[in-house]
């Protein structure tokens, strides 16, 4: 019996000597919450790259403002004329020039073509020289709106363009 008592006593002393205290429950909880928050932040920042921030124009999504763009265009003797007859200012225009081999896209710029700095506003007209070679040209409006990160440029879809046969 004494032998068993000694073994039991030795085991108890061994366990009590080697039993080290772990992290307190408060520290463990704080660490777990911190890890979850950091992982959640990483996932949020990663997923934010998939979602584009849309700009607004006149308090609505800039894509919807494309529906309100109204303009007419003509091209004669290397002169391109664009008349903005709608209520939405046209910041820039892209030219989608079609020919037998496909199409190419050009943008009218302030430097090269004399496009106005702030675009063609309501009721204004742009006339400038442009050398366009091809079968037809689709003039696509480019709008500028505001977003949380400043001004945002948006190119309207082809269906809002104005087509000219050359």
- DSSP secondary structure, 30-46, as one string: HHHHHHHHHHHHHHHHH
Spatial distance between the Cα atoms of 165 and 98, rounded to a whole number of angstroms = 10
- Confidence at 9, pLDDT banded by 50, 70, 90: low
The neighbour count for residue 145, using CB atoms within 10 Å, is: 19
Where do the structural domains in the chain lie, given as residue ranges?
Answer: 2-48, 56-165
Q: Which of 11-20, 43-52, 68-77, 123-132 ranks highest by mean pLDDT?
A: 68-77
User: DSSP states of 34-102 as a string?
Assistant: HHHHHHHHHHHHHHHTTSPPPPEETTEEHHHHGGG--EEEEEETTEEEEEE-SSS-B-EEEEEEEETTE
Spatial separation of the C-alpha atoms in residues 111 and 129, rounded to whole Å = 12
Predicted pLDDT of residue 147:
79
Q: Tell me the mean pLDDT in the region 35-49.
A: 91
Given a contact cutoff of 8 angstroms between Cβ atoms, the answer to whether 121 and 155 are in contact is no
The whole-number pLDDT of residue 50 equals 77
The predicted structure's pLDDT at residue 134:
82
- Domain 56-165 sits in CATH at 2.60.40
* Stated pTM of the model: 0.66
Classified as helix, coil or strand, 142 is: strand
Average pLDDT over residues 128-155: 86
Mean residue pLDDT across the chain: 82
């Amino acid at each position: 019996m004494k032998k068993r008592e000694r073994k039991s006593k030795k085991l108890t002393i061994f366990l009590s000597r080697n039993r080290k205290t772990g992290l307190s429950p408060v520290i463990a909880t704080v660490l777990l919450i911190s890890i979850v928050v950091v992982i959640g932040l990483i996932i949020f920042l990663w997923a934010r790259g998939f979602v584009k921030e849309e700009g607004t124009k006149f308090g609505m999504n800039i894509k919807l403002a494309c529906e309100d763009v109204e303009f007419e265009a003509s091209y004669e003797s290397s002169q391109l004329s664009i008349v903005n007859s709608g209520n939405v200012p046209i910041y820039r225009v892209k030219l989608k020039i079609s020919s037998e081999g496909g199409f190419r896209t050009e943008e009218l710029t302030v430097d090269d073509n004399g496009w106005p700095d702030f675009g063609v506003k309501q009721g204004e007209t742009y006339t400038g020289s442009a050398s366009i070679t091809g079968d037809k040209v689709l003039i696509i409006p480019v709008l500028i709106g505001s977003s949380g990160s400043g001004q945002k440029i948006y190119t309207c879809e082809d269906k809002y363009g104005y087509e000219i046969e050359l």
